[in-house]
Structure 1
């Protein structure tokens, strides 16, 4: 089928497709209804809803960009399409750009699933950031994403503008949470297919796609493990110590989130074969030679340096709990530690990690 958005790396909702067919290509609503096999009032409501959503800065920018690059298909090639609001037009085989969008969108949806998280988008900026607030009023940056990715997510109704302005704030919608659940379920199904030695439809292992290879045993088969909405350190930070104070200070949580942010940023972009398991106890350690200050390559170098600074033992628990998102009980079992000892070692690792980041920032300023 001829695609009207050949250069677009994301799914264009059928409602937006019909809106552009009507407003850009001048296709009558009744003709669109006949092609879709639905009543004209249904198409009219869809077009009206898209028009009202243009008050959202990201939605308006996405529709404007699509309108500029739009070339409508011939009438006999439109065909019938699902009528539900969030159905997407068929896409061509996945390109590297599409794969990159899918990975970044999953990271953002996962971050925004935290009730305290918002996506902040500033005017005329190329990047948007996900920040998570805490009880003390402090904000922690948990992800950075291209504004073009944010536009596509808003157009698909995965995020909605809560506070428009020079810095607009977005939160995940019910449709976004449903999309996140669907993607995580698909990932788990692919992982199960690999572990069961069936006819797998999975595309790539962790080294290329960002999912963590979960070791079944020494030399055993690997199974991908996917992150939950909250990290183990976020859950641990809610606990209190014997004095009634938070078990993890906010600075330690920020250090763990920074490591995870770099770890996930390292999975974006060209597919790589990075083997993080070399930082686990007994693994081979070597230096890194990356020089670029930005991008996935630089993120890999930052993670490698941080883990190397932690050393054996501490890097084990940091990598498993902060990056692989393993729970403390599972990490203790895999590392052969006694019960309830993992949280103490993790806190020590986060203290060392926080000190490393502070020293690294100081060295950068001096340099």
Structure 2
């Protein structure tokens, strides 16, 4: 979004027009609305701006729920924004630590600042990009305890601030079609700035879930977060925001509920053992946090093979930290024999999961030429050092 587009969008005419648009589902709906709005005399720039916002609002429902219909976005800002369910948990940390005045440095479109302000904390939201800062100001306007500053994070006076939250930009500059940055020194603000700030301060730092674990300071609490099965972030917490004696945590959010595994350090894997009747695939947050061994012990299970994140057990266990499967039988691993076995069992719908084997599930599914009216899960992995195909059903 260019500055000129934002000016048109934030006009009285632009906001009224945006709020008046009916929802659309197809490209045909968009073409019809463009034609209707142009006939009503609206400029091409304004029409493009409001339709883009209508599309982004619809896309944002997954992250912001009902709030999305009252917010503005950029494409890149929405992609990088924290989901409201996770932002609320960030904000809860600050409130629980007694930190009332919070600086959100690199606030983007204001997702985390919104959650902080909703808990009536005083929030100074700072954003270096002018257009994004203006959008954050619009999104935070309903909250009297929130202010937005258009400036670099490095230039903010923090003397009256109790705690800091940073969500460094991890993509190239721009509002659309940005690219992911791989060097933490290229983040905005940089990782070095964030770590220096965390020395002697209460700081929360949001990073990508694949962040290099070797760069995690020993003083931080590292919490990997998954939402509905997708690992969405790594949070590093310092000072009063870090919980005592916790350095590794896996937070699994499903719907409105959150479940957490915590430990002082990476857990040792449980011993390997024979394949049982049940197989468990740990949630991605548990895997990233390296708490698979703790989970195995919690469900009275054992590792299926060294270095492979599957747990096997003899009894069914309900756990939010893993997907469970009942093993029906072991099938031939050779592709020709596997195709015949699946055909003989009438399996036409197949979920393929794999760990420890070099196979492309999508390409394999196509080659298997499935037909039949039964559904199943195929797990391709190693058992006792051998490539193995397991036919299973989800618990």
* Fold conserved between structures, TM > 0.5: no
Q: Which has the higher contact order (CA 8 A, sep 6+)?
A: 1
TM-score when normalising by structure 2? 0.26
Structure with a larger share of its residues in helix: 1
Structure with a larger share of its residues in strand: 2
TM-score when normalising by structure 1? 0.27
